[in-house]
Amino acid sequence: MKLIQMNFLPRAIACAVLATAAAVSASAQTVSPVQATADPHSIAIAAPVMEAGSDAASRNFDNTVLPSLTAFVQSALPERQNNTASAAFEVDPNNIILANNTDVRAYFVSEGAGYHNSIGVASQMPSDATPYNSWDQAVAPTSKLLFPDASSTEGGVTDGTGVYGTRTAAEPVLPGDFVDAGTYAKGTKLDFFLLSGGAQNYWANSFSTDGSLNPDGFSQHVAAFTTHLFAVPQLNSPYLFLSFEDTWGGGDKDINDVVIALDVGTATVNALLATPEPAMPLTFAACLGLALIAFRLNKKTATVVS
């Protein structure tokens, strides 16, 4: 018995060490070796861009979501076509309100833009005043840049200065690269925005998820969809996808100039997809039927009395 105890203790310690090492490895992240140097309008940067697949969550995203998402974007949002009527857009991006306290993460997916665009997020609590326009939103105290330059050598429109699949100073991100945007409280409304050409320090137009804030009147500068539209839907997915159009008035309206994925948690995604309970239309139909019967009976009685 004593021998068994003596052998068990080192094994238990070894298992604990291995488990701890595995946990550390799973949570480890690698900062991307190329960070955008752009600082459009001195908006704070949320965090450094991290390399794709450098922690457990990002590896899961790369392996289980990114391939089907990329194929879906290519088929549902083709380049240089008017995609305003695409079946891709199933949720209103103006309704991103967190269902619980959430660590929000943004993944770069793809880009098909001639501009070097910047992507950011602004947060708003119910008691906060609504920004006057998309520019006020972009430079609000709560605003943060996620991808200061959302340009990639794997994009549909590239500078031609870098080798495909590499990160360069001019095209610093690759699909799957991610940014931890921060922890937000339950009830926080997240508004995402694009600064058109922001990475080149132009006087950039800002386009928001809230279409009413966009001064050009084009309502789909930021559109949203979920994994429910994929060929093999992922039930209870934490991912929401935003697709941006970067040109005043919508330009070619392909709405694929930048595509990002957001991990906002399953509760928030499920709330965005929520529909009235099936019982409600049935109840309404039943009430309508009863009202119709009552109307006919009343009419019949009135006829007899007369």
pLDDT digits (tens, 9 = 90+) for 79-137: 999 999 999 999 999 999 999 999 999 999 999 998 999 999 999 998 888 898 898 99
Which letter, b or e, does each residue of 103-120 get, where b requires 16 or more Cβ atoms within 10 Å of its Cβ?
ebbbbbbbbbbbbbbbbb
Mean pLDDT of the chain: 83
In a 13 Å sphere around the CA of 165, the CA atoms on its Cβ side amount to: 0
For residues 238 and 276, which has the higher predicted lDDT (pLDDT)? 238
Nearest CA to 228 out of 213, 239, 214, 212 is that of 239
Q: Kindly list the strands in the beta sheet with 258-263, ordered across the sheet, starting from the edge strand earlier in the chain.
A: 178-184, 102-111, 258-263, 239-244, 222-226
The alpha carbon torsion through 227, 232, 233, 235 (nearest 10 deg) reads -130
**What is the distance between the alpha carbons of residues 99 and 186, in angstroms, rounded to a whole number?**
5
**pLDDT value at residue 2:** 32
Partners of residue 243 on adjacent β-strands: 223, 259
- pLDDT in the model for residue 235: 67
The DSSP output letter for 58 is H
| pLDDT for res 234 | 66
Q: What is the mean pLDDT of residues 191-199?
A: 95
- In this prediction, residue 287 carries a pLDDT of 38
pLDDT of residue 232: 67
pLDDT of residue 218: 94
pLDDT score of 290 more than 60: no
Q: Give the whole-angstrom CA distance, residue 155 versus residue 199.
A: 16
pLDDT tier for residue 303 given thresholds of 50, 70 and 90: very low
Q: Give mean pLDDT, residues 42-67.
A: 96
Confidence of residue 6 (pLDDT cuts 50, 70, 90): very low
Question: Looking at the predicted structure, is the pLDDT value of residue 18 above 60?
Answer: no
The pLDDT, as a whole number, for residue 41 is: 86
Q: What DSSP letter does each residue of 222-247 carry, written as one string?
A: EEEEEGGGSSS--TT--EEEEEE--S
| First-residue to last-residue Cα distance in the chain | 103
Q: Is the pLDDT of residue 280 over 50?
A: no
pLDDT digits (tens, 9 = 90+) for 204-243: 899 999 999 999 999 999 999 999 898 766 668 999 999 9
Res 158: pLDDT: 77
C-beta of residue 269 within 8 angstroms of C-beta of residue 242: no
Q: Contact at 8 Å (CB) between 284 and 121?
A: no
- Percentage of residues in the chain with pLDDT exceeding 90? 66
